[in-house]
Amino acid sequence: MSAPILLGFVLGYFALLLGVAWWTGRKADNATFFIGSRNSPWGLVAFGMVGTSLSGVTFVSVPGAVGLTHFGYLQVVLGQTLGYAVVAFVLLPLYFRLGLTSIYGFLAQRLGPRSCRTGAAFFIASRTLGATARVYLVVAVLQDMILSAFGLPFWLTTAVILLMVLLYTLEGGVRTIVFTDTLQTAGMLLGLVVCTVFLLQRLDLTPWQAYAQMQERGLATVFNPLPQARDYLLKQLVAGLFITIAMTGLDQEMMQKSLSVRQLRDAQKNLLLLGVVLLAVVSAFLYLGGLLYLVAPGLGLQGAGDRIFPAVVLGHMPVAVQVLFVIALVSALFPSADGALTALTSSTCIDLLGLPQRSDLSEAQRARIRRRVHAGYALLFLLLVLTFRAVGSPSMIGLILKIAAYTYGPLLGLFAFGVLTTRAVNDRRAPAVALAAPALCWLIDAQQRALFGDWQLGLELLLLNGALTFAGLWLMSWRQPAAAPAVTG
């Protein structure tokens, strides 16, 4: 299919998103933007969060990574499923009981305002880097496969796409993305199913026959039993558990949607359902990756990585499948950006600027500041996507998880200390501890062979980072009632 026709479908899809944004953003105020007025349907939130959790990384990078790590990523996802239960029954009750709009308000109440700003700053850094890495991955595919035919430069493509996201999230915020993410998740999953069916037909195999061939070629290997390996089973399970606790339970973007649900019970159902659905969907994406590597040799395609999926679909599949692939790809792109922009704006306005407490500002003035912050993050996204383009990476999922290990680790330590202890800390020194932990982790990571020999640290670097932050806070703490009683779950 020609690039202009594919572009026409993308523009039509965006027009649909704008229609949803107009409908949900009518009479929206700051409370609507930040937490959807706590009136979001939990079922829609759960389904939409699937798209946010998956994003373009799962849609493109997980199938592509099968050629490198086989089905090993499933080890991480199994650990993540356990993590959703921890978030649902330990952290969500805490957030609801305190009536938080920003989850970092817990750090302010428990440890102090500097700890709150430190937590928010680490979230902002992590979500900004992670979201822009996801956006870069999908924009790069769209650019190379479609938009380069028009002679458009990469920077202009990125700018236009981010402008689209800015337009449909500017007013409605969380209320809008609850509905748009539902639409986008549906598009992504439909693309997954259709592409899987067409690949099976091209191979002329049943699902079980295809899986048997994957096993014969070693593509379906899930568990690594070697303790010294970076992707050892136990390491990956523990890492997945804490990745979910950190990247969902301590992440304002993910929790903002759960806090927009009216009742705690419904928010818990949302997270538990999300964990089960993600396990099934990621398994399906890995299976799709196996199919891609079965069919690629017969199509003359070599190598492994993020580009194999678009290369197979756009070069060797029917027109209807190509259209659906592009729509699914765009559906994978927008949840990576819209929720991040909204959550980053919320955390900045609430935790760093303290807008809700600014009695000297009218509602209109607060809204004007919020819009400026929102637009500022869109510009920052543009600059970071261009940076990722200049640096490049063969597999973005590994890079994103690495970023998470360094930036979510201090959040994990701060929250663990606040939840699990009653000790008070010197709030002025908390930022220094939170910065020292990832710096020390970087040194350990760089000297792994000298320190551990054949033993390799992988995703559990996140846990080490959190433990170092916790230990630093403990060393400068004392036995004295803190600002809030201990929370046990």
pLDDT of residue 210: 93
429 falls within a domain: no
477 φ/ψ angles, rounded to the nearest 5 degrees:
-100, 170
Report whether pLDDT(280) > 70.
Answer: yes
Cβ contacts of 297 within 8 Å, gap of 6 or more: none
410 falls within a domain: no
pLDDT of residue 395: 55
pLDDT confidence tier of residue 314, bands split at 50, 70 and 90: confident
Answer for the pair 354, 108: CB distance below 8 angstroms, yes or no: no
Tell me the pTM.
0.72
484 falls within a domain: no
422 falls within a domain: no
CA distance 22 to 292: 39
Q: First-to-last CA distance in the chain?
A: 54
pLDDT confidence tier of residue 231, bands split at 50, 70 and 90: confident
Residue 355 has what DSSP assignment? G
Q: 57, 125, 89: which is closest to 408 by C-alpha?
A: 125
The CATH number of the domain holding residue 131 is: 1.20.1730.10
Answer for the pair 165, 341: CB distance below 8 angstroms, yes or no: yes
| Residue 403 token pair | 């970023």
pLDDT confidence tier of residue 89, bands split at 50, 70 and 90: very high
Give the range of the structural domain holding residue 162, as residue numbers without chain letter: 3-405
CA angle 320–290–460, rounded 5-degree value: 120
Distances (CA, A) of 74 to 143, 194, 287: 30, 22, 11
If DSSP codes are grouped into helix, strand and coil, which group holds residue 261? strand
CA angle 263–269–273, rounded 5-degree value: 150
CA distance 257 to 35: 7
pLDDT of residue 469: 93
Q: How many residues does the chain have?
A: 489
CA angle 411–416–421, rounded 5-degree value: 140
Sequence-ordered strand ranges (E) for 335-486 = 424-425, 477-478
| Residue 175 token pair | 């209320």
325 falls within a domain: yes
237 falls within a domain: yes
Report whether pLDDT(26) > 70.
Answer: no
CA distance 286 to 296: 15
pLDDT of residue 170: 65
Question: How many domains is the chain built from?
Answer: 1
Report whether pLDDT(335) > 70.
Answer: no
- For helices 154-169 and 319-347, give the axis angle rounded to 10 degrees: 60
Tokens 């543009």 belong to residue: 382
447 falls within a domain: no
CA distance 244 to 251: 9
| Residue 280 token pair | 């099934």
Tell me the torsion sign for CA atoms 416, 419, 423, 424.
Answer: positive
pLDDT confidence tier of residue 36, bands split at 50, 70 and 90: very low
| Residue 341 token pair | 């922009």
Distances (CA, A) of 18 to 50, 101, 132, 173, 179: 21, 26, 22, 13, 11
pLDDT confidence tier of residue 455, bands split at 50, 70 and 90: low
DSSP string, 437-451: HHHHHHHHHHTHHHH
Report whether pLDDT(142) > 80.
Answer: no
455 falls within a domain: no
pLDDT confidence tier of residue 488, bands split at 50, 70 and 90: very low
Report whether pLDDT(32) > 70.
Answer: no
